[in-house]
Amino acid sequence: MREADGDFITWIEATDSVEPDYLQHLVDIQNKSNADIVISGFKEYREKEFSQSVNLKPYFEELEDNEYTNIDKYRALLLFLSHWTSFFYSWGKLVSMRTHLGVMYPKEFINKDMATTYKLYLHTNNIVVDGEELYNHHIIDERVTLGDRDILADYEDKQRVLDEMMMITEIMNFNVAAVRDLCSQVMNNEYNAAMGKLSESWKPKLDKLRSELAD
């Protein structure tokens, strides 16, 4: 971030790829819409095999007829939390450097993207969602790269991130009950995913951690 000197920034994960016209496409949309953030659809691959296409066409009727649509600031939280988990991550987006003013990627969090990206939405005047799927997101088997202790630490970290986001929601007094329910759904999914990765001897430790975090 310190080395960037342009007006916009985009991130590509080390294991991901983009189509040749990906960046130009997002820049063209930004020029048309003057958006602070342009969000791309993407194709998801698991272990190099195509898994699914992910975009917001089912959730925005306007995308059926138009190339893109605007969404309203913090209300994006409800939509993205419930339908599109890539909301949390930096990749697949063209983001104005202006939105980063006063926002730091916290060193204390493992999931730095998850702890930061939603805050950028609060700095926007105009967000655009694109229906094209020009970003290729590759998911690798985390059991190869993460040990049991790391999986527990990752679960705890994500809960801390959502707790912080919940605090901001309460301060803004924005649809608190709905956001709380959606955060609960996210962590239920994280719990089930972690249970599928942990060795048997570590599963009771996750249950204990989950209970402690709920208190």
Residue 106 lies inside a defined structural domain of this protein: yes
108 and 177 co-located in one domain: no
pLDDT in tens, 184-196: 888 888 899 899 9
Q: Assign 127 to helix, strand or coil.
A: strand
pTM comes to 0.71
Residues facing residue 94 across a β-bridge: 10, 38
pLDDT over 60 (residue 67): no
The answer to whether residues 52 and 44 touch, using CB atoms and an 8 Å cutoff, is yes
Greater pLDDT, 174 or 23: 23
Among residues 139, 163, 188, which one ends one of the domains?
A: 139
Among residues 109, 139, 169, which one ends one of the domains?
A: 139
Q: How many distinct structural domains can be found in the chain?
A: 2
65 and 85 co-located in one domain: yes
């009950």: which residue's tokens? 177
Domain containing 195 equals 142-214
Residue 208 and residue 215: Cα distance in Å, rounded? 11
The answer to whether residues 121 and 76 touch, using CB atoms and an 8 Å cutoff, is yes
Residue 186 and residue 179: Cα distance in Å, rounded? 10
Count of residues in the chain: 215
Residue 158 and residue 34: Cα distance in Å, rounded? 32
pLDDT in tens, 129-180: 777 899 998 877 655 557 898 899 989 988 888 888 788 778 767 677 877 8
pLDDT over 70 (residue 65): no
Residue 205 lies inside a defined structural domain of this protein: yes
Residue 107 binned pLDDT confidence (cut-offs 50, 70, 90):
confident
Residue 2 lies inside a defined structural domain of this protein: no
Among residues 99, 117, 139, which one ends one of the domains?
A: 139
